[in-house]
């Protein structure tokens, strides 16, 4: 019996305190090693993922801009030479009028707020008419509120189309008068949602009454850009009526023309639709692509009118001749990773060292490929030093391209 009790007591003996502490220490060391390994692995993964994000964001931003620039000027290569680089717009919904810049492509247009420091603002405009792009002689029998009388191509117009009434020498200071109107009635039933025409066979109506809009599934809508009492210019004078004998013309830019402003705001690529919003208010810009910190652009110009780009510059466009000379654009986009990198040594970040050449694969200024004398384009230089105080903590990716303005190669 004594032997059995001794064996039972030995079987119930537990770990000593020293053994427990040693076990805990071994487990703690194991956990530390595992966590360190995980942290390093996670850091590599986040760096790789953020680098991929920068690659994707930059590629997407450049693709979107390149697509828009290739469309720039569609339906405008006959309009711009008339002198219509600015068009008078009336917005009946807001009860306000404004002069809107309308050139195919422009860098830093006047009146538009700048984007982030050391970045460019870009204007891109193009029409959407599927019929013709030349001006049609037009008349108005009494005033600018009267119907447009046209004798050519009148069946090509559709209800809902936006048209620009051009009258040479009748604008402020003897400039060309260029006014946007919205068609609410046309002669052809095909452009009338199948309804019988409400006007004469040679009249285009632009009143303020509701009409069936083909672009809204032929629903009844109220026009936005017409004014029953007549649109007034910047000086408060009613715009002139069209007179074809003195050059009055009507240009159809389609139902959904695009006149957009692109800018880098808050480290993102943003856009504003000038026909729908007040683009002088930065609150109206919508984010298109995140983590795009730089956008720069350069004009490719044909200075001798032979249809070939022979000069690259950033000189401001001041008239229609200069606007017509722009046949290409060089654009740079710089995207940023979404994760801060740790310093390799010391407290200061050193992931990116050069604010002018932020991409590790960049050996020259981005515009060096578009000019034999890059110094002349120094104003287009990238500078990320003012993006944020911690700009050196991130990785960057540079994207650039040269885009032809194909629609502007065809000159009237």
Task: Give the neighbor-by-neighbor strand order of the sheet with 292-301.
Answer: 311-313, 292-301, 326-336, 396-404
Q: Could you give the CA distance from residue 102 to residue 82 in angstroms, rounded to a whole number?
A: 12
Ranges of H-type helices in 158-311: none
Taking the C-alpha atoms of residue 98 and residue 331, their distance in angstroms, rounded to an integer, is: 29
List per-residue pLDDT tens for the chain, 412 residues long.
565 555 555 555 667 777 778 878 888 887 887 777 666 655 555 555 545 788 999 999 999 999 999 999 998 888 999 999 999 999 988 889 999 999 999 999 999 999 999 999 999 999 998 776 689 999 999 899 999 999 888 878 889 999 999 999 999 889 999 999 999 999 876 778 888 877 788 999 999 999 999 888 889 999 999 999 899 999 999 999 999 999 999 999 999 999 999 999 999 999 999 998 999 999 999 999 999 999 999 999 998 888 889 899 999 999 999 999 999 999 999 999 988 888 888 788 988 999 999 998 899 999 998 877 777 898 999 999 988 889 999 999 999 999 999 888 876 6
Q: Give the global pTM.
A: 0.86
What is the length of the chain?
Answer: 412
d(CA 143, CA 241): 5
3-state secondary structure of 367: helix
Q: Is 78 exposed, middle or buried (0-12, 13-18, 19+ CB in 10 A)?
A: middle
Asked if 253 and 102 count as a contact pair (C-beta separation under 8 A), the reply is no
Give the N- to C-terminal CA distance of the chain in Å, as an integer. Answer: 120
d(CA 396, CA 366): 14
pLDDT of residue 248: 96
What contacts 354, CB < 8 A, 6 or more positions away?
A: none
Amino acid 132: pLDDT: 63
């Amino acid at each position: 019996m004594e032997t059995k009790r001794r064996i039972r007591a030995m079987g119930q003996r537990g770990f000593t305190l020293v053994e427990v502490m040693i076990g805990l220490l071994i487990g703690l060391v194991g956990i530390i090693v595992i966590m360190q390994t995980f942290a390093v692995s996670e850091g590599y993964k986040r760096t790789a993922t953020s680098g991929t994000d920068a690659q994707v964001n930059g590629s997407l931003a450049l693709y979107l801009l390149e697509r828009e620039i290739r469309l720039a000027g569609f339906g405008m290569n006959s309009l711009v030479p008339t002198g219509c680089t600015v068009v008078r717009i009336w917005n009946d919904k807001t009860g306000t009028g404004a002069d809107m810049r309308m050139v195919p492509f422009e860098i830093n247009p006047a009146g538009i707020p700048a984007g982030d420091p050391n970045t460019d603002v870009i204007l891109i405009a193009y029409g959407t008419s599927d019929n013709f792009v030349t001006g049609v002689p037009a008349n108005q029998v009494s005033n600018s509120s009267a119907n447009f009388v046209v004798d050519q191509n009148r069946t090509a117009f559709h209800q809902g189309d936006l048209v620009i009434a051009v009258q040479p020498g009748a604008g402020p200071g003897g400039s060309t008068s260029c006014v946007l109107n919205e068609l609410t009635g046309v002669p052809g039933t095909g452009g009338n949602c199948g309804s019988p025409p409400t006007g004469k066979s040679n009249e285009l109506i632009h009143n303020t009454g509701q009409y069936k809009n083909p672009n809204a599934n032929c629903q009844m809508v109220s026009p936005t850009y017409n004014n029953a009492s007549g649109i007034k210019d910047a000086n408060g004078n009613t715009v002139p009526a069209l007179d074809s004998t003195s050059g009055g013309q009507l240009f159809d830019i389609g139902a959904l023309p695009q006149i957009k402003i692109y800018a880098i705001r808050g480290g993102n690529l943003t856009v504003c639709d000038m026909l729908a919003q007040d683009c002088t208010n930065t609150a109206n810009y919508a984010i298109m692509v995140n983590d795009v910190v730089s956008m720069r652009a350069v004009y490719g110009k044909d200075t001798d009118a032979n249809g070939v780009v022979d000069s690259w510059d950033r000189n401001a466009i001041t008239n229609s001749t200069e606007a017509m000379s722009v046949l290409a654009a060089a654009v740079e986009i710089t995207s940023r990773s979404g994760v801060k990198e740790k310093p390799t040594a010391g407290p200061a970040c050193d992931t990116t060292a050069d604010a002018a050449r932020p991409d590790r694969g960049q050996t020259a200024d981005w515009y060096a490929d578009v000019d034999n004398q890059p110094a002349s384009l120094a104003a287009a230089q990238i500078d990320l030093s003012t993006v944020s105080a911690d700009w050196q903590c991130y990785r960057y990716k540079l994207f650039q391209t040269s885009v032809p303005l194909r629609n502007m190669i065809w000159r009237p």
